């Protein structure tokens, strides 16, 4: 709206300059300075706008990159080894192997290996690769996670091989549906709270400007329109087009004065500064308005995996039996990442390791296909995350060999991790691998729910090492191993103890793996290689239950994707700041609830009924029940959530008036990220689709970075209010000065080009510097502001009017003083020799030609230049140059002092001294220097119609300008008193 007014002002100014040039014969650049400056402002604002909006929508292109390019297809009995994925049709048979990207949605027809695992976390949010099978799914409306016989386009085969039948292609696939949802979400994008406020502010300012301009023009009607009254009726109308356009130009000048031309550029600069601060806190903002929107966030919808948790599996607890089969030893483990140096076993004093602990280490290290590598920034796993966690545990346990252990200790343990940016040498795991030579692998079987390896012990005897589901292993266990290495038959009490410990670990959200071994291997006790007679038996999964029977149970390890250490504190900050947190994850319900309680989303004793739902459960509720649940205070957790569930939750929250920040990393999160007020993608684990759909990217995937960003957003909003308050109060002062000039009928004390200079250049640096104001210490102790809260409330508007009135009185007052008074507060005003006149003469200066015996003496200005007149009436045009310079200087000085008032909306300069923001002091000096530049450089002084001032005149300027600080301090004191009274009333109620 402000830009529209400027365009109108530029057009009118150009026409008036053209008409004035034709009448006066002036056709040079000076005649068109004003419209050219306005056009320049418009061009600069347009450049800023285009630069800000150049982030093209690339989410759909990124989605295309996810889809497989080609596939090995069997069609009409012929094998096509490299068929482009876009040519697939339903019914095609596709062969997939490890590393292949699934090119379409397809059903598993036959497994070519015993197991098939698919990485589909980007679609379903599951933290682990998912087992697939050929069994049919009979439910019509089941979750994506439950479709165990389906492979989805864009996912990756991480283990095994299969033949699959294409079911859906193109936009009918799950990834195609997400493309449609992203497009629909982009259509639903609403304006940011900042844009709404600025548009609302612009509309109100437009009304104010229009009324004020009209009044100024009408007040001066007598100068361009007159008539005689005969018999009570007006006759003989006289109209002066020249005077009419002159006063119309004054009205245009009023519009120019009222519009904060530099506001758009200053806001963009402030937002850009905010993005820099956020980037230092690992929050990278892709769209500038999002910086401010964060400040009024009321709900954060957070993904679990990778945001609230580390997205790295880690053993946090394990147990073995003690000296008897009815006692157990529980060991706690610190560390939440794949970094072997991250934490250790709590109170670990078992460096010599008894037989049970040695068995735990051996099984964890050798019955394992995972690896760990470092990409230069973080440790990551190859293979299954759970197996990588077991290897890290082994490194924390050390080895039983004293010489090797001492060698590791001498090398300070950490030095053994020889990082070459691709692999990490795991010393302890390597020691176990060399000690127990691996001979064969029995792959994971979905029926046995375990995997095992045959190893050759240092004694030359073969041993079977097994890991798998605890309940499944216990069914095939005959003995348990005690701490001293002895084996005792398992009985019911021992089994119940083991199940109880396992249940306790599971209730904490741990994924439990049982560990066992077997020494009596029968016909494979002497197995050595594939030529052994029993080798075929090892290839047949039907034989696995027999081989993996009569096991010796060793212990249980508890693994999980641990919460980030800083998240509970961030949750507390959110509660204190009045921000609700809703966890939306594709993971299972029990894990989501356990993590939510651990990060203190819920209190330990809090009942989760009505606060925890699966996506399917929530969508089955009525619309009114859904709204009631979402608007209810406190945290919520939604598990097994699909893309459509996330999108609906975000949409309902927005319709309820909430400002929603949504986090996510997967393809399935993209539609909700696009729909949310603030979409926040994960920088490390996030897919390119999520990043392109988001407004902000977290460089560290950390929830606490979101909370820091919210605090920064609130601070930026406060700073924006500060410079808007500063610029508008200054502009109101300019309007008041022009209005007073018109109302009193005196010559204009400032011309439009001067007002443009002040608004765009002189005001700009202090306004920008206010963006560096330090954040209030209690910024996260206040509830989020409402998105419909006005930028300017009634009290702030009153303050604008009071300060603006003083600015107007000061700028017009010094103009009048110079013409009418010989001195002011002891300062001689007529030392330059100018002629004093009466106030009545100044008000009727247009009738100067009819005054008898009026003369105007030439006067000198600083530097010895003499201002003289051929026509005495030029004293009110050419001769006003000194008075106009004083008015402009007072305006600049007042606005510099007024910028100090804007350091804080409520706090006094005593509690918020100017040196808290040194950039403001530098900006004030710079702006004042610019003013002196145009004043003391002759060429610039001629363009702006001003002259140099003497030291006495500068003293007068400072004396007239400084009281604006005292005036605003009084208003701040009144404001603080009003708030204290209102707080007391609220408490009394």
In the block, tokens 């109170």 appear at 347
Burial class (CB in 10 A: 0-12, 13-18, 19+), 607: exposed
Neighbour order of strands in the sheet with 696-698: 283-285, 696-698, 678-682, 660-664, 299-302, 580-584, 636-639, 612-614
Which token pair is 450? 């375990």
* Residue 948 burial by Cβ neighbours in a 10 Å radius (0-12, 13-18, 19+): middle
| Other Cβ atoms within 10 Å of 401 Cβ, number | 14
- What beta strand segments (E) does 211-255 contain? 225-230, 233-239
Judge whether 171 and 177 are in contact, CB under 8 Å. yes
Cα separation values, 656 from 292, 580, 629, 649, 866, Å: 20, 14, 12, 11, 70
The rounded distance, in Å, linking the Cα atoms of 484 and 497 is: 19
Contact (CB, 8 A) for 920 and 770? yes
**What stretches of 773-879 adopt beta strand conformation (E)?**
823-824, 827-828, 859-860, 866-867
For the chain, counts of helices (H) and of strands (E): 35, 34
- Rg (alpha carbons) of the chain, rounded to whole number: 39
Q: Which of these, 488, 442, 484, 486, lies nearest to 466 by C-alpha position?
A: 442
Which residue in 100, 105, 303, 701 is the catalytic one? 303
Residues 958 and 984: their CA atoms lie apart, in Å, by 41
N-term to C-term CA, the chain: 42
Residues 615, 143: contact at Cβ < 8 Å? yes
Tell me which residue of 809, 769, 797 sits closest to 902, measured CA to CA: 769
Residue 550: left if φ>0, alpha if ψ -120 to 50, beta else—which one?
A: left
HSE-up of residue 325 (Cα within 13 Å, Cβ side)? 17
Using CA atoms of 299, 305, 310, 316 in order, give the dihedral in degrees to the nearest 10. 120
Distance, in Å, from the CA atom of 163 to the CA atom of 174, rounded to the nearest integer, reads 20
Residue 404: Cβ-neighbour burial (10 angstroms; 0-12, 13-18, 19+)? middle
Q: Which residues contact 104 (CB under 8 A, 6 or more apart)?
A: 71, 85, 88, 94, 153, 166, 167, 168, 169, 173
Q: In the chain, what is the greatest distance between 2 CA atoms, to the nearest angstrom?
A: 134
SS3 for 77-142 is CEEEEEEEHHHCCCCCEEEECCCCECCCEEEEEEECCCCCEEECHHHHCCCCCEECCCCCCCCCCC
- d(Cα 38, Cα 14) in Å, to the nearest integer? 10
With left for phi above 0 and alpha for psi between -120 and 50, is residue 521 left, alpha or beta?
alpha
* DSSP structure class, residue 171: G
Active site residue 695: no
Give the contacts of 154 (CB within 8 A, at least 6 positions apart): 63, 66, 67, 68, 101, 102, 122, 123, 174, 175, 667
Angle between helices 794-820 and 951-961 in degrees, nearest 10: 150
Residues present in the chain in total? 989
Structure tokens belonging to residue 96: 């997939």
Active site residues: 303
């Amino acid at each position: 709206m402000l830009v529209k007014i400027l365009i109108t002002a530029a057009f009118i100014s150009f026409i008036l300059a053209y008409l004035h040039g034709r009448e006066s014969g002036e056709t040079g650049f000076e005649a068109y300075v004003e419209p050219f400056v306005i056009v320049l402002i418009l061009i600069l604002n347009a450049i800023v706008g285009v630069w800000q909006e150049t982030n093209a929508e690339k989410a759909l292109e990124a989605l295309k990159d996810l889809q497989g390019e080609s596939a090995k297809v069997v069609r009409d009995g012929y094998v096509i080894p490299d068929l482009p994925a876009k040519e697939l049709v339903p019914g095609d048979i596709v062969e997939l192997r490890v590393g292949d990207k699934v090119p379409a949605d397809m059903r598993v027809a036959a497994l070519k290996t015993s197991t098939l695992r698919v990485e589909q976390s980007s679609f379903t949010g599951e933290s682990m690769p998912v087992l697939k099978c050929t069994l049919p799914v009979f439910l019509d409306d089941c979750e994506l996670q439950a479709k165990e016989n389906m492979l989805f386009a864009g996912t990756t085969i991480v283990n095994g091989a299969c033949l699959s039948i294409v079911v859906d292609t193109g936009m009918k696939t799950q990834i195609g549906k997400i493309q449609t949802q992203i497009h629909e979400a982009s259509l639903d994008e609403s304006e940011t709270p900042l844009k709404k406020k600025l548009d609302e502010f612009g509309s109100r300012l437009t009304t104010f400007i229009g009324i004020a301009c009209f009044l100024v023009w009408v007040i001066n009607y007598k100068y361009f329109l007159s008539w005689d009254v005969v018999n009570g009726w007006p006759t003989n109308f006289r109209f002066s087009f020249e005077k009419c356009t002159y006063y119309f130009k004054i009205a245009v000048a009023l519009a120019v004065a009222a519009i904060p031309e530099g506001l758009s550029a200053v806001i963009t600069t402030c937002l850009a500064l905010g993005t820099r601060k956020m980037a230092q806190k690992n929050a990278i903002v892709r769209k500038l308005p999002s910086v401010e929107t964060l400040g009024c966030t009321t709900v954060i919808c957070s993904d679990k995996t990778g945001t609230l948790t580390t997205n790295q599996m880690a053993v946090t607890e394990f147990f073995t039996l003690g000296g008897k089969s009815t006692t157990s030893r529980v060991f706690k483990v610190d560390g939440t990442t794949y970094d072997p140096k991250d934490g250790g076993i709590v109170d670990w004093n078992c460096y010599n390791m008894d037989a049970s602990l040695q068995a735990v280490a051996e099984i964890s290290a050798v019955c394992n296909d995972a690896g760990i590598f470092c990409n230069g920034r973080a440790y990551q796993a190859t293979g299954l995350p759970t197996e990588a966690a077991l290897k890290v545990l082994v490194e924390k346990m050390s080895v039983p060999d004293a010489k090797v252990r001492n060698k590791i200790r001498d090398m300070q343990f950490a030095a053994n991790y020889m990082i070459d940016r691709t692999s990490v040498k795991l010393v302890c795991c390597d020691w176990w691998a060399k000690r127990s030579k691996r001979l064969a692998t029995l792959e994971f079987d979905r029926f046995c729910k375990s995997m095992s390896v045959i190893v050759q012990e240092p004694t030359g005897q073969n041993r079977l090492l097994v890991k798998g589901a605890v309940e499944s292993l216990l069914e095939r266990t005959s003995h348990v191993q005690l701490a001293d290495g002895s084996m005792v038959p398992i009985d019911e009490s021992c089994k119940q103890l083991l199940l109880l410990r396992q249940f306790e670990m599971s209730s904490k959200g741990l994924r439990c793996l049982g560990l066992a071994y077997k020494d009596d291997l029968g016909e494979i006790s002497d197995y050595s290689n594939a030529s052994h007679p029993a080798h075929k038996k090892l290839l047949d999964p039907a034989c696995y239950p027999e081989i993996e029977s009569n096991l010796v149970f060793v212990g249980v390890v508890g693994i999980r994707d641990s919460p980030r250490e800083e998240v509970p504190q961030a949750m507390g900050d959110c509660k204190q700041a009045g921000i609700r947190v809703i966890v939306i994850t594709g993971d299972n319900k029990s894990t989501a609830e356990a993590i939510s309680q651990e990060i203190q989303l819920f209190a330990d004793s809090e009942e989760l009924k009505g606060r925890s739902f699966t996506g399917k459960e929530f969508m089955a509720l009525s619309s009114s029940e859904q709204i009631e649940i979402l608007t209810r205070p406190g945290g919520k957790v939604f598990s097994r959530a699909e893309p459509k569930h996330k999108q609906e939750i975000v949409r309902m929250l927005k319709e309820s008036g909430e400002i929603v920040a949504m986090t996510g990393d997967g393809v399935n999160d993209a539609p909700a990220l696009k729909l949310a007020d603030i979409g926040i993608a994960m920088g490390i684990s996030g897919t390119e689709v999520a990043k392109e759909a988001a407004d902000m990217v977290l460089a560290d995937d950390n929830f606490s970075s979101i909370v820091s960003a919210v605090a920064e957003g609130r601070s930026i909003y406060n700073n924006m209010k500060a410079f808007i308050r500063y610029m508008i109060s200054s502009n109101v002062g300019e309007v008041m000065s022009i209005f007073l000039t018109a109302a009193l009928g005196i010559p204009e004390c400032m011309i439009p080009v001067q007002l443009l200079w002040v608004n765009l250049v002189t005001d700009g640096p202090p306004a920008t510097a206010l963006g560096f104001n330090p954040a209030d210490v209690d910024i996260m102790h206040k509830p989020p502001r409402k998105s419909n809260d006005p930028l300017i409330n009634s009290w702030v508007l009153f303050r604008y009017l009071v300060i603006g009135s003083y600015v107007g009185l000061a700028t017009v007052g010094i103009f009048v003083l110079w013409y009418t008074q010989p001195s002011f507060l002891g300062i001689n005003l007529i030392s330059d020799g100018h002629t004093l006149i009466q106030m009545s003469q100044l008000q009727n200066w247009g009738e100067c030609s009819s005054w008898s015996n009026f003369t105007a003496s030439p006067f000198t200005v600083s530097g010895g230049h003499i201002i003289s007149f051929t026509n005495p009436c030029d004293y009110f045009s050419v001769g006003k140059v000194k008075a106009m310079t004083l008015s402009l200087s007072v305006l600049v000085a007042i606005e510099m002092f007024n910028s100090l008032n804007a350091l804080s909306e409520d706090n006094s300069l005593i509690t918020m001294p100017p040196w808290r923001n040194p950039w403001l002091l530098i900006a004030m000096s710079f702006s004042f220097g610019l003013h002196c530049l145009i004043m003391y450089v002759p060429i610039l002084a001629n363009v702006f119609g001003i002259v140099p001032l003497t030291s006495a005149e500068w003293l007068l300027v400072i004396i007239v300008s400084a009281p604006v600080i005292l005036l605003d301090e009084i208003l701040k004191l009144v404001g603080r008193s009003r708030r204290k009274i209102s707080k007391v009333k609220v408490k009394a109620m």
